[in-house]
Chain A
Amino acid sequence: MTDAASPAPAEQRRFHLGWREITLALLIVFLAYQVVIPFMMIIWTSLKTARPGDPEFLSLTVTFANYARALGSASFWRTTGNTLSFAFASTLLAFVMGAFLAWVVERTNTPLGRFIGFVLIARIVIPGVLIVISWILIASPNIGLFNQLMRPITGIRNVVNIYSFWGMVWVQALEMVPLAYLLLSAAFQAMDPRLEEASTMTGAGNWRTLRRISLPLALPAVGAALLLLFIIAIETFEVPLLMGTRAGIRVYTTEIFYDTSRTPIDWGLAATYAMALCAVAIVLLFVYFRLIRFGERYQTITGKDYRPRRIDLGRWKYLTCAAALVFVFLITGVPFLMMLYASLLPFYQAPSLAAFESMSLANYLSVFDSAKTITPMINSTILGPVVATAVIFIVAAIAYFVQKTQVPGRKVLDFLSFAPIAIPSVVLGATFFWFYLLVPLPVIGTLTIIGLAYLTKYMPVALRFVSASMMQIHSELDEAAQVAGVSWARNFFKVVLPLLRPGLLAAWFWVMVHAYRELTIALMLARSQNRTAAVVIFDLWEEGSFLLLSAFGVMMFLLLAALSTIAWLIGRRFGVQEQY
């Protein structure tokens, strides 16, 4: 029973080779393969002028020629400037809107709060590429609905041009608002209202309480949210690809895409841009984690009678409700309605009586007609659930080893499984492609290569969901099973996994939806046979088939909504409805 005696059994266990040790070893090998190799590929390619696959590529001579070329060119610095200013502006806009919505829903008595929150979060089932396209259909020069409608009124040919810096910022910000909302509403919920009440009781008015107590306390959470949004805006691909090219605004991600998709492929330059992108992401992530840890220090004991304080807005609540509904309409309503409207038209036109009379389901029928659209839809429907299932098993095992055991090597697991958060999608897609050019495994052009890249991509976030759940499982439950003489593998499947169910379901749901709608990685790895639904949308866009695209988009949206509903129903059956 003494402390001195306890290390002894651990010592004995270390030399025992059981399922537990084999699983741990397999996990480390898997993570090294999935995580370490992509990082090495970026670094190595950036130091070579030869392309992957050349014999010269594997020689040990390195060169800084790519860096010299990039850093010496004006376009690198222009791209850097574009990337940072675009990310900065869209982060601020998304933050302001997200903060307003989170405040309205969490801290005021504005009516329809729950509805507003639900519709915002439901937005995640709409693929990012569709959001971009719907805004182009609204506000592009000439064909944009808004421009067409305003022309007779204002007499100006094009009131707005979405193909511009501010157009890009607008769409990117709207795309990020649901995340900003989620991050900030969590921060608002975590704040103990007693801290503000204590200030009031000392005689402080609302203004002093806000300035001296509420704001300083919210600062770490606000800073962390801003940083995360900024990282996402820097790594974003859809908006720069579809809008930035015509606007003449290039950012890191589009540079990498163009360097790898034109002939001759400029591997070295792409890798250099990838290094720049990773470097920025790593620095920002470092600051992000510092802020998170700083914020945790602020967490205090909370009383049992914890009730968040809501501000009574009086008659103003109708104004905040109206403003929130307008935002929610712009964020979730516009992309959906736009797709629905365009999908029913025989040719693209502004709404009019004639337009509504000409509506038909013809576009939907042509979606079913073509293997070009059906196969990718099937591909995505396979990829989403399969990747989600694989990820949650891997992540559950990782979370178990990291949190519930003292095995040496668990820290390595923790670090490796979280490291991919620093690799932007466009870079991840490129490195997987480069690696399988080197390795003679026949995966290029298959769903397998996309699936493997997705495993790496979605592990970090899934791990956070599952870790949160794992933390709530007391080690004693696991120990009780061990004392009862149950084998490790049996215990893992019969005790640990069932207890993790809420976290696993949340992670599965998140990965499934994101893998289904993902564009960047799929596009980087796309060949003729492994195109996914999001890639087809991009293809149709390039061809100019807006209407077919819209019908396809609506179907993709409905399928995803159906999958989500099924997942939600299953979750509810297992009693996890309170965690959404």
Chain B
Amino acid sequence: MIRVDGLTKTFTANKEPVAAVDNVDFEVADGEMVTLLGPSGCGKTTTLRCVAGLERPDGGRVVIGNETMVDVAAGVFVPPNRRKLGMVFQSYAIWPHMTVLENVAYALEGQRTAKAERHRLAMTALDTVKLAHLADRPAPRLSGGQQQRVAIARALVGRPQVLLFDEPLSNLDARLRMEMRGELRRIQREIGLSSIYVTHDQSEALAVSDWIVVMKDGRIIERGRPLDIYRYPRHVFTAQFLGTTNLVPGTVDATDDSGGRLRVTTALGPIIGIDRSGALRPGAKVKVSIRPEDLSAQAVDGLANTFDGKLTNALFAGVAVEAEVSVGGTTLACLLNRESDLTPGRAISLRARPDACLILPEESA
């Protein structure tokens, strides 16, 4: 269990104090993987480094298990080497002057175990990441994916209470990244360790997490289960950052009779959608978020949320066709069946179910 309360960290940039992490709270339950997701500079890595003890926060508390690691108000700071954590770095940080086995076994040197026992445990850890056959290879002579596995084995071998991942996959190429994603999730589940995972890659976050915490400018925007936060983000920022979406600006016209539904006047005509917050009143400026996969080309005349337009662009992407449809000057991105007629300029009607049209308050910044 990890609990972070009111964590704050300020840096000085150009003699101006900048809050890299601003009053951040979150919790990681036993055995769960929580992802800190956000664009670069949002404070996610600094948060992780504060949990690791590599940065000293200016305010707040970090509790791991039953032990308070940091409590700024009480003057408590446990140094990183006493926190019993495992960490995987973005650059892997594999020591180039050691072999694979030495890299992993080094992590056990602080414990009072015999050398033979250290090597045995290191081999077991290398087995977990399927790298036992390369144990004697000098570390620099490994591919990126293999270095990544060594880094994970090294983080695991000391039986830490918590695993920390700092953008562990961002230096790998696309195919390997997909593969390692599944691998990471498998290992984390097998070992059942509470983990914090930092990434700026939304699809990675959706794939590996139990919970996602979305951050921006040092603050937490919102948090949720991967499917919930993808389907029903509460902020325009989250809707945009997690996957692709069409954002149609408009004004709330009237509340519909059936629960939670609103009618919004937009450039596309009236759209019926849902308001999960229940706080939007007629006249409010809003954005309607419609995911491309929720726009279907099988339109039925006379139903609500039907948009007649012209196909302007179509890219065959294997699974489906990524298409752009111009509806009265507004461009909508949608996914079409790969057998569709892709003639540019042809007339096309799109429809979105009201449940898939999410009405979000327009953000001030």
Contact = CB atoms under 8 A, between A and B. Distances in A.
B91 A300 contact: yes
B110 A204 contact: yes
Contacts of A198: 87, 89, 93, 95, 151, 154
Contact of A195 (B80, B93, B111): B93
A303 B96 contact: no
Contacts of A300: 91-94, 96, 140
A142 to B, nearest CB: 53
A289 interface: no
B199 to A, nearest CB: 13
B140 A194 contact: no
Interface in A296-340: 297-306
A299 B85 CA distance: 26
B107 A197 contact: no
A202 interface: yes
B93 A212 contact: no
Interface string B41-57: 00001000000101000
Contacts of A149: none
A527 interface: no
A187 to B, nearest CB: 14
Nearest to B102: A212
B86 A201 contact: yes
Given A208-B109, A298-B140, A303-B89, A200 B81 contact: yes
Given A297-B96, A303-B171, 11 more contacts: A198-B154, A201-B54, A201-B86, A202-B109, A204-B81, A205-B81, A212-B109, A217-B95, A301-B91, A301-B171, A303-B90
A10 interface: no
A192 interface: yes
B87 A298 contact: no
Interface residues of B, number: 36
B167 interface: yes
Contact of B84 (A195, A200, A203, A217): A203
Interface in A353-393: none
Given A192-B91, A302-B91, A303-B91, A201 B81 contact: yes
B300 to A, nearest CB: 49
B109 A204 contact: yes
A216 B87 contact: no
Interface in A183-226: 192, 194-195, 197-205, 208, 212-213, 216-217
B97 interface: yes
Contacts of A301: 91-92, 144, 147, 171
18 contacts: A197-B80, A197-B87, A198-B93, A199-B95, A200-B80, A201-B155, A202-B109, A203-B84, A203-B111, A208-B110, A212-B109, A297-B140, A298-B96, A298-B140, A301-B171, A303-B90, A305-B45, A305-B90
A202 B90 contact: no
B82 interface: yes
B51 to A, nearest CB: 11
Interface residues of A, number: 27
Among A203, A298, A305, max chain B CB count under 10 A is at A203
Nearest to B111: A203
Contacts of B77: none
A204 B108 CA distance: 9
Contacts of B52: 201
A426 B97 CA distance: 40
B292 interface: no
Contacts of A297: 96, 140
A511 to B, nearest CB: 35
Interface of A: 192, 194-195, 197-205, 208, 212-213, 216-217, 297-306
Nearest to B106: A202
A200 B45 CA distance: 17
Interface in B209-227: none
Contacts of B93: 192, 194-195, 197-198, 300
A201 B144 CA distance: 21
Interface in B190-233: none
B97 A203 contact: no
A293 to B, nearest CB: 12
Contacts of A204: 81, 106, 109-110
Contacts of B84: 203
A198 B89 CA distance: 8
Nearest to B87: A201
Contacts of A303: 89-91, 167, 171
A202 B107 contact: yes
A298 B167 CA distance: 22
Q: Which 9 pairs, one residue from A and one from B, show the smallest C-beta to C-beta distance? A: A198-B93, A202-B107, A303-B90, A203-B110, A194-B93, A303-B91, A201-B87, A298-B96, A216-B97
B158 interface: yes
A202 B54 contact: no
Among B45, B80, B81, max chain A CB count under 10 A is at B81
Interface string B150-190: 01001100100000000100110000000000000000000
Among B40, B96, B167, max chain A CB count under 10 A is at B96
Contacts of B151: 198
Interface in B34-71: 40, 45, 52, 54
A298 B97 contact: yes
Nearest to A215: B97
B19 to A, nearest CB: 17
